[in-house]
A and B are shown apart, each in its own frame.
Chain A
Amino acid sequence: MGRGRWLFHIMARSLFWRRGRSLLLVLMLAMASSLVTALGVISASIGTRVTQELQRYGANVVIVPAAARMDVGSGGMNFGVVSEPAYLDEGAVEQALASAGLGQAAHSLHLRSALHYGNADVPVEGVHFDQIRKLFPWWQVQGEWPTAGGAVVGRDLAARLRLKTGDILRLKGVATEISVRIDGIVATGGEEDRSLYLDLPALQEAAHLSGRVTQVRLLTDAGREKPAATAARIQTLLPGASVREVRQVASTSEGLLRKVQLLLLIVTLVVVVACGASVAGTMGSTVLERSREIGLLKALGGTRGHVLLLFVIEAVVLGVLGGVAGFLAGSGIAFLAAWSVFATAGEFLPRFIPAALGVSLLLAFVSSAGSFMAVFRLDPVASLRGEYHAHENA
């Protein structure tokens, strides 16, 4: 039998002989390793998760004309008040976003106005429906999302005007009269329920406001740059506009990010220290119990290095087992956290395997260092007699 194979064989025998204690050590190492893995996986994916979550709340930056004071709200949240009509230049906004490196960021253009229908004016809003579907995923549309010449009417407005899908409306604006087909009825529980949504170019033409919008909503990547900083950058490019961060959502995302990471870090540190102490105690008592065996191995001609190697191999195997188990358990914890906090499937990130193994092995070695030193110094005669203290002449 080769020496390597023999070493592995007797190590396996030893660990199996003390299987209860070995299992306990693996569990302790796995516990520490799992939390480090969970911390890493959650931290690595939390930015993405928060961004995904932000999309549920809509935009985190709003651009309105500087002169305007308009009611800015969405999904039951209210961010400001409108007082007088003012407009943004659609082209200037798009150009500013492109210059700020946000040309590809999800955003929606809005033009709020009123058109005459029957005997009264109705509130209308011109939008690009593809942008709305992307940025306002909570919109529940009964019927179909509009195609060319189509419109969506808010639930309350539809009830008031007795509108239903398939109806054709003739709306009169300042410049011209347009016909639109009701393709769907939207219900959000917010102000959207009281408005009629048309294709933006159609409203711009009817209201004689070509190239004008009253509001731009923008969803930035909060994990990459704070929304406030993004807003400030856009502001410098659009001096005639007021660019504001939607504070509630941004603060929530940043706070969530910080708090979850801090909580995980504290718990991880506490568990790592506690596990280290437990591993040290268990390893220490194991070495004391095995002092006669250590003495015997030295009496048989084993050097300190030979004997130490046996213990180091056991620690390596325990560390690897603890690391692998910890990685799997940590991935499971991260998976559960993603499921319970974000209601989405978690990520399996194999790149954290080295970290899980490293923590487990480091803990196994650091916690066993005292025991290893005792093994190193143990005098064969004293240890064979059952005297556990290292002899000065060893």
Chain B
Amino acid sequence: MTACIEARQLSRSYGDITALKSLDLEVPEGEWLTVMGHSGSGKSTFLNLVGGLDRPTSGELRIGGVDMLTLDESGLARFRREYVGIIFQQHHLIPHLSALENVMMAQYFHSVVDEAEARSALERVGLGARLANRPGELSGGEQQRVCIARAVINSPRLLLADEPTGNLDHQNTRVVLDLLRELRAEERFTIVLVTHNDEVAAWGDRTIRLDDGRLVSGTMVTP
């Protein structure tokens, strides 16, 4: 199976603090990898590196065969809009835009702004009746579903989810995870999901655990 993510001796330091220490990891195409760990364990740093939001201090990182260290800033931006979809714990929806417009914003950076396609994506996540509502008029679960629609609208090969259910109740957590499972089955993208929650982790194919920037449990490659 082709590797979606290949990390070799991947490290990231911020001044004297090393957030990620010599991580070796391989994630095949289509896998749902769950990353667990305490706060400050390096899991968000890993997600940022894999998402092209940050650069490693040392080591190697290849995503979809692309050497991330060779990309300049505009190359990283292109990588983010063409290859990656990101779901944030805080949703990060633009407050003055409607649910539909928030999804269309991701289309604008990727290719063309297609209202019908954005509408369809929101209908897929069960928000067909909430298109015109602004984030402030939506519940936490609904906002997260807008975030999911926005993340998948450009058919990414890699979906990154940073604590996507961290702010949701049990029922909404299940809705979101069900949605991710359905979308993955349809789109066949790779998922890297960061969570503290063992129950959420159980939805993935494989779980790794980071502590103090090191891989402390789980396998480097899929067994």
Task: Mark A residues whose CB is within 8 Å of B.
Answer: 1-3, 6-7, 9-10, 13-14, 16-18, 292-293, 295-304, 306, 380-381, 384, 393
Bound Cα distance from A18 to B97, whole angstroms: 12
> Which B63-90 residues have a C-beta within 8 angstroms of A?
73-74, 77-78, 80-82, 84, 86, 88, 90
Bound Cα distance from A302 to B81, whole angstroms: 7
Bound Cα distance from A350 to B13, whole angstroms: 60
Query: Which segment, of B103-111, B124-132, B195-203, B215-223, faces chain A?
Result: B103-111
Bound Cα distance from A2 to B114, whole angstroms: 9
Given the known interface contacts A1-B113, A6-B104, A13-B96, the answer about A301 and B77 at a Cβ–Cβ threshold of 8 Å is yes
Q: B101 to chain A: which residues have CB within 8 Å?
A: 9-10, 13
Q: B113 to chain A: which residues have CB within 8 Å?
A: 1-3, 6
Q: B74 to chain A: which residues have CB within 8 Å?
A: 303
Bound Cα distance from A320 to B186, whole angstroms: 48
Q: Are B109 and A293 in contact (CB under 8 A)?
A: no
Bound Cα distance from A10 to B112, whole angstroms: 15
The distance from the CB of A2 to the nearest CB of chain B, in whole angstroms, is: 8
Given the known interface contacts A6-B104, A302-B77, the answer about A381 and B48 at a Cβ–Cβ threshold of 8 Å is yes
Q: B73 to chain A: which residues have CB within 8 Å?
A: 303-304
> Which B110-148 residues have a C-beta within 8 angstroms of A?
110, 112-115
Bound Cα distance from A302 to B90, whole angstroms: 19
The distance from the CB of B170 to the nearest CB of chain A, in whole angstroms, is: 27
Provide 17 A-B residue pairs closer than 8 Å at the C-beta atoms, listed in order of the A residue: A1-B114, A1-B115, A3-B108, A6-B108, A9-B101, A17-B96, A292-B92, A296-B92, A299-B53, A300-B105, A300-B106, A300-B109, A301-B81, A301-B109, A306-B109, A384-B90, A384-B92
Given the known interface contacts A380-B53, A393-B55, the answer about A300 and B94 at a Cβ–Cβ threshold of 8 Å is no
Is B40 in the interface zone, CB < 8 Å from A? Answer: no
The distance from the CB of B219 to the nearest CB of chain A, in whole angstroms, is: 28
The distance from the CB of B14 to the nearest CB of chain A, in whole angstroms, is: 10
Given the known interface contacts A381-B53, A384-B88, A393-B55, the answer about A17 and B95 at a Cβ–Cβ threshold of 8 Å is yes
Is B42 in the interface zone, CB < 8 Å from A? Answer: no
Closest B residue to A2 by CB, please name it.
B113
The distance from the CB of B13 to the nearest CB of chain A, in whole angstroms, is: 11
B109 contact from A1, A14, A297, Cβ within 8 A: A297
Bound Cα distance from A304 to B76, whole angstroms: 11
Closest A residue to B57 by CB, please name it.
A393
Q: Are A301 and B104 in contact (CB under 8 A)?
A: no
Q: B55 to chain A: which residues have CB within 8 Å?
A: 393
Closest B residue to A306 by CB, please name it.
B109
Q: A6-B104, A10-B101, A381-B48 are in contact. List 19 more A-B contacts (CB 8 A).
A: A1-B104, A1-B115, A3-B112, A13-B96, A17-B96, A18-B96, A295-B92, A296-B94, A298-B53, A299-B53, A300-B105, A301-B77, A301-B106, A301-B110, A302-B77, A302-B81, A303-B77, A381-B54, A384-B90
Bound Cα distance from A16 to B97, whole angstroms: 11
Bound Cα distance from A296 to B94, whole angstroms: 8
Is B164 in the interface zone, CB < 8 Å from A? Answer: no
Given the known interface contacts A6-B113, A300-B80, A302-B77, the answer about A14 and B96 at a Cβ–Cβ threshold of 8 Å is yes
Q: Are B97 and A10 in contact (CB under 8 A)?
A: yes
Q: B30 to chain A: which residues have CB within 8 Å?
A: none
Given the known interface contacts A3-B113, A306-B109, the answer about A299 and B51 at a Cβ–Cβ threshold of 8 Å is yes
Q: Are A301 and B80 in contact (CB under 8 A)?
A: yes
Bound Cα distance from A4 to B114, whole angstroms: 13
Bound Cα distance from A240 to B95, whole angstroms: 86
Given the known interface contacts A1-B115, A13-B101, the answer about A299 and B95 at a Cβ–Cβ threshold of 8 Å is no
Bound Cα distance from A2 to B82, whole angstroms: 20
Closest A residue to B81 by CB, please name it.
A301
The distance from the CB of A39 to the nearest CB of chain B, in whole angstroms, is: 37
The distance from the CB of A169 to the nearest CB of chain B, in whole angstroms, is: 88
Bound Cα distance from A381 to B86, whole angstroms: 12
Closest A residue to B94 by CB, please name it.
A293
Closest A residue to B118 by CB, please name it.
A1
Q: A14 to chain B: which residues have CB within 8 Å?
A: 96
Q: B80 to chain A: which residues have CB within 8 Å?
A: 298-301
Per-residue contact bits, chain B 30-73, to A (CB 8 Å; 1 contact, 0 not): 00000000000000000010010111000000000000000001
The distance from the CB of B35 to the nearest CB of chain A, in whole angstroms, is: 16
Given the known interface contacts A6-B113, A381-B54, A393-B54, the answer about A299 and B86 at a Cβ–Cβ threshold of 8 Å is yes
A10 contact from B88, B95, B105, Cβ within 8 A: B105
Closest A residue to B105 by CB, please name it.
A300
Q: B86 to chain A: which residues have CB within 8 Å?
A: 299-300
A297 contact from B53, B78, B82, B105, Cβ within 8 A: B105
Q: A293 to chain B: which residues have CB within 8 Å?
A: 94
